[in-house]
Amino acid sequence: MDSIDLEVLKAADAWLDEGHACELVTVIQTWGSSPRPVGAMMVIRHDGRIIGSVSGGCIEDDLIARVRDAESNADGKRNAPELLTYGISAEEAYRFGLPCGGTIKLVIEPLSAKSRIRQLLAHVTRHELVMRQLDLLSGAVRIAPAETGATLELTLGVLTTIHGPRWRLLIIGAGQLSQFLAQIATGLDYQVVVCDPREEYRLAWQVPGVEVIHAMPDDLVLEMKMDSRTAVVALTHDPKLDDLALMEALKSEAFYVGAIGSRVNNTRRRERLKEFDLSDAQLQRLHGPIGLYIGSKTPAEIAISILAELTAIRNGVALPDKMSVAAAKDEIEIPLWTPAEQELLPQQIN
């Protein structure tokens, strides 16, 4: 599963290669409520076909019409990027269906060989973080490495956009749940790395584009130098593989560290980790049982639960305790015997 940005770049590269005229649209600023974030992209082919989205459907039809009109009118054909703003007035916001009077500012850019889409796609496919600098006057493009934490900027007529996986996810264990988690996380623009020293699990791996590394997980945690844009998820159920890796991850700057397991196993894991040189504050960073409570049973549902929790934390959303798996199960758990039945139970046994 590709991220939306990667799908847009692949489509643009393919259409240019086939000789189609197409234009790239990028969200550069929003005010009020906006369905798509800054940096969202879509590519529009001259015949109206699109890949991606910049407003969740609100202004796409108008953008398609603009591209078709420019293509059919030789005098009006765009030769350089243009700035567009939708929703300046309440009437326009209503006409385009923008929620809550929101406003979206975009750049629409006619693509050609000088747009360097193929070069950009090559960097992104290699999981490299790069910036693309577009001169809005000439349409010239420069691509260079980007630093972690870099964001979209429009300065002195140059639009700088950031491309590539801006978040990393280390999955410990290459089982079935890991495969679902890796597929969905890749679509969420994570650079996913899977670590498993067990050959039988590595040989069964079936997620294209996600590398499985043969190493001890704790060694890989140290090697990857976890930063504040990295998450670690332990899924093996094996303390020999999980515990040391979790210990190193909890000492790092990783924004999320979690492990699968029941409430009982989670309690035991925390007791084991107390034996290492971890502070109480570091232990409190451990998420377990992992994920949000959504009644998940299957591996695919559990993967969604885990990534829902990661997404909330990544976006700075404070989650109420009752949404955690442990708290939710404690609240809804029904005893095997009612109090009245428990009083009768010894009499029945006798």
Cut 0.85: pTM above it: no
pLDDT over threshold 60, residue 212: yes
Q: CA–CA separation, 42 vs 182, rounded Å?
A: 24
Contact predicate 41/26, CB 8 Å: yes
What does the DSSP assignment read for 266-303?
A: HHHHHHHHHTSS--HHHHHTEE-S-SB-S---SHHHHH
Model pLDDT, residue 72: 63
Q: CA–CA separation, 276 vs 243, rounded Å?
A: 10
Model pLDDT, residue 348: 40
pLDDT over threshold 90, residue 211: no
- Give the residue-averaged pLDDT of 86-98: 59
Q: CA–CA separation, 296 vs 314, rounded Å?
A: 21
Contact predicate 78/68, CB 8 Å: no
The two three-digit tokens of residue 45, written as one number = 């082919």
The domain limits of the chain are 4-163, 167-331
pLDDT over threshold 70, residue 74: no
Structure confidence by residue, pLDDT tens digits, 112-132: 999 999 999 999 888 788 999
pLDDT over threshold 60, residue 101: no
pLDDT over threshold 70, residue 284: yes
pLDDT over threshold 90, residue 215: yes
Model pLDDT, residue 148: 77
Model pLDDT, residue 4: 79
pLDDT over threshold 80, residue 341: no
Contact predicate 263/289, CB 8 Å: yes
Residue with tokens 């959504």: 294
The two three-digit tokens of residue 163, written as one number = 């491309």
Structure confidence by residue, pLDDT tens digits, 180-203: 999 999 888 888 999 999 999 988
pLDDT over threshold 70, residue 92: no
- Give the residue-averaged pLDDT of 52-64: 84
pLDDT over threshold 70, residue 110: yes
- Lowest mean pLDDT, pick from 12-16, 92-96, 233-237: 92-96
CATH superfamily placement of domain 167-331: NAD(P)-binding Rossmann-like Domain (3.40.50.720)
Model pLDDT, residue 350: 30
- Lowest mean pLDDT, pick from 71-75, 263-267, 338-342, 343-347: 343-347
Structure confidence by residue, pLDDT tens digits, 232-244: 999 998 999 999 9
pLDDT over threshold 70, residue 278: yes
Counting every residue, how long is the chain? 350
pLDDT over threshold 70, residue 2: no
pLDDT over threshold 80, residue 102: no
pLDDT over threshold 50, residue 136: yes
Nearest Cα neighbor of 118 from 267, 9, 224 is 9
Q: Looking at mean pLDDT, say which of 63-67, 96-100, 346-350 comes out highest.
A: 63-67
Model pLDDT, residue 347: 46
Q: CA–CA separation, 72 vs 92, rounded Å?
A: 26
Q: What's the Cα-to-Cα distance from 195 to each of 91, 129, 221, rounded to whole Å?
A: 54, 22, 10
Model pLDDT, residue 334: 52
Model pLDDT, residue 89: 54
- Lowest mean pLDDT, pick from 18-27, 79-88, 96-105, 280-289: 96-105
- Lowest mean pLDDT, pick from 46-55, 90-99, 120-129, 136-145: 90-99
Model pLDDT, residue 95: 58
Contact predicate 91/25, CB 8 Å: no
Q: pLDDT tier at 349 (50, 70, 90 boundaries)?
A: very low
Q: Looking at mean pLDDT, say which of 109-118, 209-218, 275-284, 320-329 comes out highest.
A: 109-118
Q: Where are the beta strands (DSSP E) in the chain?
A: 22-31, 41-45, 50-52, 82-86, 103-110, 130-135, 141-145, 153-155, 158-163, 167-172, 190-195, 211-213, 230-234, 256-259, 286-287
